[in-house]
Amino acid sequence: MNILLIGSGGREHALAWLLKQSPRCGKLYCAPGNPGIADSAECVAIAIDDLDGIITFAKDKKIDLVIVGPEGPLVGGLADMLDRHGIAVFGPSSEAAQLEGSKAFMKDFVSRHKIPTAAYGRFTDADEAERFIRKTGAPIVVKADGLAAGKGVIIALSVEEAITATREMLSGVAFGAAGREVVIEEFLDGEELSYFVIADGRTFVPLTSAQDHKRVGDGDTGLNTGGMGAYSPAHLMTPEMEQKILDRMIRPTIDGMMRENNPFKGVLFAGIMVVKGEPILLEYNTRFGDPECQTILSRLDYDLVTLLDAAARGKLDTIRDQVKWKDAVALCVVMAAEGYPGTPRKDTVIRGIDLADTVEGVKVFHAGTARNEKGEIVAAGGRVLGVTAYAKDVATARANAYQAVDLLNWPEGFCRRDIAWRALSAPGLKKGL
Ligand code: AMP
Ligand code: GLY
């Protein structure tokens, strides 16, 4: 099969790396890709929002399957357009991607289907929002309705902070059009985990869990980021927890979307807060997480092309019982550029990636890299590398990942040193990790 992958991050590098290992993979292209992806795929200079360019290329190269990594083009209607041109695509329609693209849509949908979620209100009027905030009290969570590159959520510790954030969003100052409506919701105090399934509109296949590390600093301190590291499976994930998530969230969502004539096809990524042992849905994303994807795919014990192709063609029922996971742990440490999540320093030279790759079970995924005129790998984004280790348990995966990190020669890069700290410090929960 000729495959076109859309995106240029660590998630897409992990996808490309695994797709290329499949005996079913013919020619693999990636638009626009990055220097790491170029080892597995032919990178083509088409931007992810150039929908016409993507369609033209896919027809020209007789692409059998398009796999979309990031949310932007999905919300923008890329899957719908490919569908209209008869090209198989792994990823939801624009309307189904509203589960991620509009927090108001998502909250209304999950409430309609009685899926446990934080109590909320949705507002376009600042005075009404202010009354709601004053009535509810702090801490309280303010969310821009639309896509805001992971920055649209404010956990306000005081009523005044929540009101200011709300006014900045609604006026368009904070996030432009994405903030013209806000969701304001109850603050939930618990521990987070992420859970993933793949759906074809009707049938779904459970993938597995992961735990992300959103804050930039050790011990979960400092500013929010897109994710500074992850490991899979999450230590909170027991068979009982998984069953609750499937019964109370995933099945009602896939069935509900189908009943509402908005079938969901692609990766459904549930961001969950576990409060007193019960899962509560914080958010849905309609794609693989980054860096969660790097850890999940490292554990997949099934042909990725077959899985994504079956989902794209509505045939998951034919393979759903075959998908297996390796009974091991994968852990990804994100290396970011100095300045991230503010303004990251660009063009600094990164050496030692090949050396880091020699550590047992380690693969370094490129997330935000480019080549300079001398052909050297340089930083070209905030999150730059995902050093991913696969091992029998979490302690070994972590030790190996940091051994690889220490073999990199990139003085302008930094990482958190405590990825998976919750798993390693949880009493009695280390077993099986
Ligand atoms: P999101 O962009 O929706 O993933 O939210 C970003 C992060 O904000 C989540 O991963 C949580 O850590 C936090 N968050 C979102 N909603 C809530 C909530 N209702 N209570 C507590 N934390 C939340
Ligand atoms: N790592 C979180 C996300 O991909 O949204």
pLDDT tens, residue by residue, 329-351: 999 999 999 999 999 999 999 99
What residues flank ligand 2, with Cβ below 6 Å?
A: 150, 212, 226-227, 285, 289-290, 292
Residues of the chain with CATH 3.40.50.20: 3-91
CA 317 – ligand 2 centroid, Å:
28
pLDDT in tens, 272-284: 999 999 999 999 9
Q: How many CB atoms lie within 10 A of CB 392?
A: 13
* pLDDT confidence bin for 53, thresholds 50/70/90: very high
Mapped onto helix, strand or coil, the DSSP state of residue 331 is strand
Atom of ligand 1 nearest to the CA of 189: 21
CA 282 – ligand 1 centroid, Å:
6
**Can you tell me the distance from the alpha carbon of 186 to that of 137, in angstroms, rounded to the nearest whole number?**
9
> Torsion angle of alpha carbons 59, 65, 67, 68, nearest 10°?
40
What residues flank ligand 1, with Cβ below 6 Å?
A: 118, 141, 150, 153, 155, 185-188, 192, 214, 271, 282-283
Atom of ligand 2 nearest to the CA of 291: 1
CA 286 – ligand 2 centroid, Å:
11
* pLDDT confidence bin for 428, thresholds 50/70/90: low
What type of residue sits at position 333? V
Q: Phi, psi (5° rounding) for residue 211? A: -130, 125
pLDDT in tens, 5-43: 999 999 999 999 999 999 999 999 999 999 999 999 999
Q: How much is the pLDDT for 161? A: 93
Cis peptide before 73 (omega within 30 of 0): no
* pLDDT confidence bin for 263, thresholds 50/70/90: very high
For the record, the structure tokens of 380 come out as 């070209």
pLDDT in tens, 62-88: 999 999 999 999 999 999 999 999 999
Q: How much is the pLDDT for 196? A: 98
> What average pLDDT is seen over the chain?
95
For the record, the structure tokens of 374 come out as 């001398």
Under CATH, which number does the domain 3-91 receive?
Answer: 3.40.50.20
Q: What is the pTM of this model?
A: 0.95
Q: How much is the pLDDT for 431? A: 42
Atom of ligand 2 nearest to the CA of 293: 4
CATH classification (class only), 125-180: alpha beta
* pLDDT confidence bin for 149, thresholds 50/70/90: confident
Residue 327 neighbours by CB under 8 Å, 6+ apart: none
Residues of the chain with CATH 3.30.470.20: 191-425
CATH classification (class only), 191-425: alpha beta
417 pLDDT above the threshold of 50: yes
Burial class (CB in 10 A: 0-12, 13-18, 19+), 277: exposed
Nearest CA to ligand 2 atom 4: 289
- Bridge-based pairing of strands 120-123 and 89-90 is unpaired
pLDDT in tens, 349-400: 999 999 999 999 999 999 999 999 999 999 999 999 999 999 999 999 999 9
Task: State which of 106, 153, 191, 223 you would mutate to test the pocket of ligand 1, scoring each by most atoms of that ligand within 8 A of its C-beta.
Answer: 153
pLDDT in tens, 178-205: 889 999 999 999 999 999 999 999 999 9
* pLDDT confidence bin for 430, thresholds 50/70/90: very low
pLDDT above 90: percentage of residues in the chain: 92
Q: How much is the pLDDT for 156? A: 92
* pLDDT confidence bin for 433, thresholds 50/70/90: very low
Least confident of 127-131, 260-264, 306-310: 127-131
Atom of ligand 1 nearest to the CA of 190: 21
Q: How much is the pLDDT for 173? A: 87
- Section 114-139 average pLDDT: 94
Ligand showing the shortest atom-to-Cα distance for residue 289: 2
429 pLDDT above the threshold of 80: no
Q: How much is the pLDDT for 427? A: 59
Instruction: Tell me which DSSP letter residue 38 carries.
Output: G
* pLDDT confidence bin for 432, thresholds 50/70/90: very low
150 pLDDT above the threshold of 80: no
Strand partners, 329: 391
159 pLDDT above the threshold of 50: yes
426 pLDDT above the threshold of 90: no
220 pLDDT above the threshold of 50: yes
Quote the radius of gyration of the chain (alpha carbons, Å).
21
* pLDDT confidence bin for 152, thresholds 50/70/90: confident
